[in-house]
């Protein structure tokens, strides 16, 4: 036999809230594709505190806070130059292998 009874139970409930490390705005905790953490300093960021965001094709975001993005001002042009050099070297390597006919 099953009897139904009602019981009032008091429970303690803990809620977690996430806040932007720059402006302290509350950030809704949701899908991983909405998570914005600076690539370098690892601060949690709200939408308005993202200094730069790269385009990605996955369920993740590549973002920098404004401070870290500004510090990269002197590095980004140099990184771009070296990327071009690296691509050129890969292409030369590939062409050398193709020209030998795989031997």
Model confidence at 102: pLDDT above 80: no
Each residue's pLDDT tens digit, 60-101: 899 999 999 999 999 999 999 999 999 999 999 999 998 775
Question: What are the boundaries of each domain within the chain?
Answer: 18-99
Predicted pLDDT at 101: 58
- Give CA–CA dist 24/17, Å, rounded: 11
Which tokens belong to 87?
């691509």
Q: Which residues contact 16 (CB under 8 A, 6 or more apart)?
A: 29
Each residue's pLDDT tens digit, 25-50: 999 887 666 789 999 999 999 999 99
Please check whether the domain covering 18-99 is classified as CATH 2.60.40. Answer: no
Chain mean position to CA 38: 7
Whether 18 and 44 have beta carbons less than 8 Å apart is answered as yes
Q: What is the pTM of this model?
A: 0.69
């Amino acid at each position: 036999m099953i009897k139904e009874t009602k019981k009032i139970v008091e429970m303690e409930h803990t809620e977690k809230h996430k806040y932007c490390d720059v402006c302290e705005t509350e950030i809704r905790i949701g899908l991983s594709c909405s998570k914005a953490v600076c690539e370098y300093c690892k601060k949690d960021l709200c939408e308005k505190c993202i200094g730069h965001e790269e385009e990605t094709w996955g369920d993740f975001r590549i973002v920098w806070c404004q401070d870290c993005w500004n510090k990269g001002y002197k590095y980004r042009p140099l990184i771009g130059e070296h990327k071009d050099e690296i691509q050129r070297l890969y292409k030369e390597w590939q062409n050398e292998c193709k020209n030998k006919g795989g031997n």
